[in-house]
Amino acid sequence: MKRITQSIFNFLYTLHGLTEMFGRSVFYLFQPPFYVRDVLEQMYGIGVGSLTIVLLTTGFTGMVLALQSGYEMAIYGAKMYVGTLVSASLIRELGPVLVSVVVAGRVGAGITAELGSMQVTEQIDAMRALGTNPIKKLASTRFFALVIMLPVLTIIGDLTGILGALIIAVSNLGISSSFYWSTVINIIDFDDITLGLIKPIIFAMAISSVSCFMGFSASGGTKGVGEATTRSVVLSSLLIFALDFFITKLFLSII
């Protein structure tokens, strides 16, 4: 009974902390001073720093998806439409989710580790003593940078996955590049693009809120920072998958 009570308390505490971190991060975005240089530095670190792993992840995902689906669809004589399957899957689901999970593992863990180290070494307390709002300077800047850069990385990842599938379609499945691109263009519509861009924006908000909350609440020295980083990656990944389901269900019910 005691363990159940403690679990409920921890859940409510985390939920409250995430909600508060999200609200304060958004609120302080519109309050001066505006740390433009910090935002640009975070955008560069998130975007350029994550570009290589995003390209590799989505590129090979597109290739594997084309390879597997192409041979399965060939049984029914429909392998020429592999571009339709790959592009729809990447833009609607796989692209936003894969890129967000990769960014959560790389950027989210880095944010938690950095803020956690500042917390346990009392640097954040020193900022407060000097009159600097740590939420605005450390959390809001990262929140805004993630919201801007994650959709950009998702677009790049979608295109990379589609190009990876094109390589397999031409080299292994005997599909001409012109026909492949015609099937890709015909299947993509405004609703797909909208859904594919809304998801990474919401995922970015979740990753930033979780990472900053875990960093600010870290305690217990370097061991506590490591535990907070692990919890941050796990919780961010779970939230991405859960939010993906609810966003998709809501979007399909609307359209």
Over its length of 255 residues, how does the chain's per-residue pLDDT go in tens digits? 667 777 787 778 888 888 999 999 999 888 888 889 999 999 999 999 999 999 999 999 999 999 988 888 878 877 888 888 899 999 989 999 999 999 999 999 999 999 999 999 889 889 888 888 999 999 999 999 999 999 999 999 999 999 999 999 998 888 888 999 998 988 888 888 899 999 999 999 999 999 999 999 888 888 889 999 999 999 999 999 999 999 999 988 886
81 lies in some domain: yes
Q: How many angstroms from the chain centroid is the CA of residue 99?
A: 6
7 lies in some domain: no
Q: Which stretches of the chain are assigned E, i.e. beta strand?
A: none
Name 187's Cβ contacts closer than 8 Å, sequence gap at least 6: 83, 84, 87, 88
Provide the 8-state DSSP code for 81: G
Three-class HEC string of 134-173: HHHHHHHHHHHHHHHHHHHHHHHHHHHHHHHHHHHHHHCC
The pLDDT, as a whole number, for residue 106 is: 92
The pLDDT, as a whole number, for residue 1 is: 67
Tokens of 175: 């599909």
The pLDDT, as a whole number, for residue 219 is: 84
Domains in the chain, number: 1
The pLDDT, as a whole number, for residue 35 is: 87
The pLDDT, as a whole number, for residue 234 is: 94
- Please state, in angstroms and rounded to a whole number, the distance separating the CA atoms of residues 70 and 55: 22
Instruction: Report the 10 Å Cβ neighbour count for 32.
Output: 7
Angle (CA) 164-165-166 rounded to 5° is 90
- Please state, in angstroms and rounded to a whole number, the distance separating the CA atoms of residues 45 and 64: 29
82 lies in some domain: yes
The full length of the chain comes to 255
The pLDDT, as a whole number, for residue 138 is: 92
- Please state, in angstroms and rounded to a whole number, the distance separating the CA atoms of residues 32 and 39: 14
The pLDDT, as a whole number, for residue 31 is: 86
Nearest one of 236, 210, 151 to 25, comparing CA atoms: 210
Tokens of 41: 């530095």
27 lies in some domain: no
Range of 65's domain?
36-250
Q: How many helices (H) and strands (E) does the chain have?
A: 11, 0
Residue 36 burial (C-beta neighbours within 10 Å; 0-12, 13-18, 19+):
exposed
Name 127's Cβ contacts closer than 8 Å, sequence gap at least 6: 133, 134, 137
Angle (CA) 18-205-229 rounded to 5° is 60
1 lies in some domain: no
Measured N-to-C along each axis, helices 95-103 and 190-216 cross at an angle, to the nearest 10 degrees, of: 20
179 lies in some domain: yes
22 lies in some domain: no
- Please give the model's pTM, rounded to 2 decimal places: 0.93
56 lies in some domain: yes
